[in-house]
Amino acid sequence: MYKRVLVPVDGSEIADRALDEAINLTTGHSVEMKIVFIGSDDESSHGIIEMAMSRAVNAGLQPESGLLGKFETEEIADVILQEAKEWGADLIVMATHGRRGMAHMILGSVTEGVIRASPVPVLVVRAP
């Protein structure tokens, strides 16, 4: 069983689904969870973290949280991986929007970057 689960959130519906999956995996087990948001230190960022924390607390968990700062899109995967390493995560649970084709080429994929370089397992929750 995993002991430390890192969950990056961005306020999207699919990120909420990934958080719910992480909550389902950890509820009833001795597992630590950390919920992180990567963005500017403003009211909306804090609101996203607070909403995610509330979901986990309402499920009976006591997660940690963190705001990791604002970075360019191509750096976000590296920030998530660095946080996972520093915090000692043994699982990352995150969402993917499942973009393909030109949208994927232009926007890139944070999740894909994490999957490619992660030394720990990554559970990916895909948009319906």
pLDDT tens digit sequence for 69-119: 776 666 889 999 999 999 999 999 999 876 554 444 434 588 889 999 999
Average pLDDT (46-55) is 94
CB < 8 Å & 24+ apart, contacts of 24-30: 25/91, 25/93, 25/123, 26/2, 26/61, 27/59, 27/60, 27/61, 29/1, 30/3
CA-to-CA distance for 1 and 70, rounded, in angstroms?
32
Total number of domains in the chain: 1
Q: For position 72, what pLDDT does the model report? A: 66
Q: What angle do CA 43, 65, 113 make, to 5 degrees?
A: 95
pLDDT band at 53 (very low <50, low <70, confident <90, very high): very high
Average pLDDT (39-50) is 87
CATH of the domain at 100: 3.40.50.620
Q: Answer yes or no: are the C-beta atoms of 22 and 5 closer than 8 Å.
A: yes
Domain that holds residue 10: 4-126
